[in-house]
Amino acid sequence: MPETEPVRGQDLSVVIPTVFVLLWSSGFIAAKTGLGSADPITFLTLRFALATLLMLGVVLIMRAPWPTTWKDVRHYAILGLMMQAIYFGGAWISMGSGVGAGTSALILSMQPVLTAVVAGRLLGETARPRQWLGLLVGFVGVGLVVEHKLWGGLGTPIGMFWSFISLLGITAGTLYQKRFCPRMDPRSGGLVQFIAAVVVLLPLALFLEEGRIVWTAEFVGALFYVSIFLSLISITLLTVMIKCGQASKITSLFFLVPPITALMAWAVLGETMSGMAIVGLGCAVAGVALVVVPPRQRTAA
């Protein structure tokens, strides 16, 4: 029996990141699908309202521990502002403005680069010269894709801008969680985050949008998919992984998201990738790999 436990732990260390990457990538496809039937902030507010109800049920059924101090509640609410409202809000406004799911995922794949560089100052995770090189290569790759998409009329400058705002949101949220919420329970902590997101997004939806919703089967399916698989399951997996590992290592998973999302977008949404876009994607992935993958692993790969 003692010999089987390490194997089980090793299996989980592979299964959990794999499930996370697949769910996170598919979330872009579901969001893009649903955005055809609703305004982005309105759609996102509905999603977090539904996620709040579902997570409340999880917390009550599983008897998850509640935050012990108001200071913890405040930290979780701030985290929700970054990880939920800003990250998802920016991404969904971007895709609602015409930016493709694959392009949005590619821009957000720069998160591991920013996290690894910034974490050196905030969390004591040292940034090396090759990581700065990776930062340059990665941003060149993203720049190639963004420029090509804009010239091709596949997105708008304001849409790309919101993708970069989303990138800043999840990078700041990852670092904030690692520093200020290390003991956060993903169930009760996630509930606080969803409530904070609804409180912030609902007024914006009421005052900035017309509240357009077309209640089709496709929209309802997308709403439940992002509420359950992205909000409950994916965010819980990400929270657990951040608690258990270095911030820069955990976010290295995100460099797998753009190619998987691009493949899904091609198969489901009919989005195409030109030669220039593929070159840019390759540069972005290489840049992220330089930042987050240790030298021995890069050689083996």
Is residue 6, in this structure, part of any structural domain at all? Answer: no
Specify the DSSP class assigned to residue 110.
Answer: T
Q: How many domains does the chain have?
A: 1
Is residue 1 in some structural domain? no
Looking at the predicted structure, is the pLDDT value of residue 61 above 50? yes
Q: Please tell me which residue, 143 or 298, carries the higher pLDDT value.
A: 143
Q: Is residue 9 part of a domain?
A: no
What are the tens digits of pLDDT across the range 155-206? Answer: 678 888 998 999 999 889 988 988 899 889 989 999 999 999 999 999 999 9
Give the contacts of 164 (CB within 8 A, at least 6 positions apart).
90, 107
pTM over 0.75, yes/no: yes
The answer as to whether 4 is a domain residue is no
pLDDT band at 298 (very low <50, low <70, confident <90, very high): very low
Q: How far is CA 184 from CA 76, 263, 264, in A?
A: 8, 34, 33
The C-alpha atoms of residue 17 and residue 252 are separated, in whole angstroms, by 10
Model confidence over 246-255: pLDDT tens digits? 555 565 666 6
Which has more pLDDT, 22 or 292?
Answer: 22
For 125, the domain range is 14-300
Contact 259, 281 (CB under 8 A): yes
In a domain, 284, yes or no: yes
The pLDDT confidence band at residue 274, using thresholds 50, 70 and 90, is low
Is there a domain that residue 164 lies in?
Answer: yes
**Percent of the chain whose pLDDT exceeds 90:** 40
Mean pLDDT of 97-119: 77
The answer on pLDDT for 35 being more than 90 is yes
Which segment of 62-76, 78-92, 100-114, 195-209 scores lowest on mean pLDDT? Answer: 100-114
Q: What is the mean pLDDT of residues 134-162?
A: 70
139 belongs to a structural domain: yes
Q: Is 229 contained in some domain? A: yes
Residue 17 tokens, joined: 């990141």
pLDDT at 195: 97
